[in-house]
Structure 1
């Protein structure tokens, strides 16, 4: 087995293998560097918040070893993107539970392995009893551990640790909202770009594969569209975080309307992506079966890709996506022409999916459900009966 593997690896020239490795390593490095640049503001926020939280708790209030303050600030900013208010509340309650249980038990039964285990178990049980999420449970248990190991009580329960957690959470929120508010539109635009690009380019490449009669090329497109679910999840999380930033930060309130457009569009972009996967699967079958390919069908798929590109541009500009809507309706019209000219069984499915995807994109442009169906039906029905 080892010799066989070496043989396969050695089939390519050594220089080519080194060049391929360099390209892969460079690509990975560039991707990582891009992620660092994209999250530089978050890194700055967490660093500033941790320092301010320590300054307030240690230097101004003179609390004894107030490590809970910077920890709370960092967790509020770094862990809770998109749900900072709820997570900040859970953080404080979790720390309070952990401190209360840890302090009380250590005072009564002392320190040791089984005492730590009992403190953590009871803190977790209390957090679950209160109906808390994973953040509350984790904070309650970790706080109990810290109390029992690093700073066990010697003269009664020390409430300063609870106030440290509260200070840290408040500082984290204040830094996010007032001192260094991230531009939510920048975050959302950066996150939405890959999802919209993969859909736009996928549809254009699918149209090219359909025109050239290349099912293998269409299969590659399908693989890319299947892998785009991660991009959709990233976009959805960014939109939620962006809305929170726009709500909490007064200087970002003007971004709420453009963010609402992204939010309204996101679910229909997801629908369009999934309908496009079905469309491309049927293109592959259509080509493998040798069914007729009207030029108007190619034009319809191309128009869908152009509609997605226009949607991305108009969302970034914060304007109503009228151009994207018009291009999606053009795609539906081309589908109607193709259906009237005559297609096979798989071709009729491609037409139906093209029409469904066009409806998704019209919805993503801000048109209500019933109105979007009416507009697409009218565009399609100019040339063909209803499907």
Structure 2
């Protein structure tokens, strides 16, 4: 739709001699990362303008030809770098400079391409946010479900490895957790995309409340993921060192894995997260029992990280920080 509309606007409405660039920019914008469409459009337009201006000035001064084309491309890309443009800006600047310096042209070609690119960018934004906007809640649902299930799965595997003192399984869980960690960045991008949609699209504005709630929860879940990574790491250290492992220690890790799954389901079901809080508090009960039986250095680190995850999960579920820390038995600094 974006390609067709941008071509029609450029060719039929504006009678532009270079309509091809409009759908090219429109497709490039739509195909970009969900959270970067506005920025990507600006980058593409900036690159087109930089390349067109450089090509116009250089070819007027020294003419066109293979050597001049190389000079135009080099200066256009250098200009993009000078103004701290990203890869999109540099690609568009170099591509535009290459095209305009390689053909016999008058000044109108640069203007026509710039106008065409502007139409493509504006139409792409209109399609993405006004005509066919994404469902932000569906975006969040798809993005967070896979990530949280992956983290919860590795916590369960870690708990099993710790209970059986299986070093190989603990190390495997750590490797998988590190891979899942990279997936978290994509989830962060999609959360930003969802917010962009509800802010810019009048048809999705009613979803702003739930997106804001999730953004609040996402901050605490981010901290929970970091502490969970520490749990898996120090579990490996605990097993390697042959430290004592009271039953409550792996049980507490299993409970926070289940709580991670539940906070996701409770949130998108729009229900009170009572089950999430119950699982989180059961993790604290288990870890307190483990401390009473006795843990050593690495085990103590695991205990502290379990408390940290529980505190963040309780805050993600809507509890104030002071209350969450009290229930997680986290001492104030």
Question: Normalising by the residue count of structure 2, what TM-score does the alignment of the two structures yield?
Answer: 0.89
State which of 106, 109, 115 in structure 1 corresponds to 2:59.
Answer: 106
Q: Report the alpha carbon displacement of residue 64 of structure 1 after superposing the two structures with TM.
A: 1.0
**Per-residue Cα deviation, 1:281-327 (whole angstroms, up to 9, x for no partner):** 33334344444333322331221111101112123334564432332
* Residue of structure 2 equivalent to 1:14: none
* Residue of structure 1 equivalent to 2:309: 357
Pairs aligned (count): 333
Is the CA contact (8 Å cut-off) linking 2:249 and 2:287 kept in structure 1?
yes
Alignment of 1:51-200 (within 5 A): 51-79=4-32, 81-149=34-102, 151-154=103-106, 158-200=110-152
Is the CA contact (8 Å cut-off) linking 1:310 and 1:323 kept in structure 2?
yes
Is the CA contact (8 Å cut-off) linking 1:225 and 1:273 kept in structure 2?
no
Alignment of 1:1-387 (within 5 A): 48-79=1-32, 81-149=34-102, 151-154=103-106, 158-319=110-271, 321-377=273-329
Q: Which structure carries more relative contact order (alpha carbon 8 Å, separation 6+)?
A: 2
Paired with 1:370 and 1:245, the residues of 2 have a C-alpha distance of 33
Is the CA contact (8 Å cut-off) linking 2:162 and 2:245 kept in structure 1?
yes
Is the CA contact (8 Å cut-off) linking 2:26 and 2:120 kept in structure 1?
yes
Question: Normalising by the residue count of structure 1, what TM-score does the alignment of the two structures yield?
Answer: 0.77
Q: Report the alpha carbon displacement of residue 237 of structure 1 after superposing the two structures with TM.
A: 1.1
Is the CA contact (8 Å cut-off) linking 1:107 and 1:156 kept in structure 2?
no
SS in 1 for 2:106: coil
Change (3 A) 1:286 1:129: closer
Is the CA contact (8 Å cut-off) linking 1:183 and 1:252 kept in structure 2?
yes
C-alpha RMSD of the superposition: 2.6
Is the CA contact (8 Å cut-off) linking 2:100 and 2:109 kept in structure 1?
no
Paired with 2:63 and 2:129, the residues of 1 have a C-alpha distance of 42
Q: Report the alpha carbon displacement of residue 130 of structure 1 after superposing the two structures with TM.
A: 4.3
- More divergent stretch after superposition (222-231 vs 338-347): 338-347
SS in 1 for 2:35: coil
Structure 1: gaps (5+ residues) = 1-47
Paired with 1:207 and 1:334, the residues of 2 have a C-alpha distance of 12
Paired with 1:108 and 1:352, the residues of 2 have a C-alpha distance of 69
Structure 2: gaps (5+ residues) = none
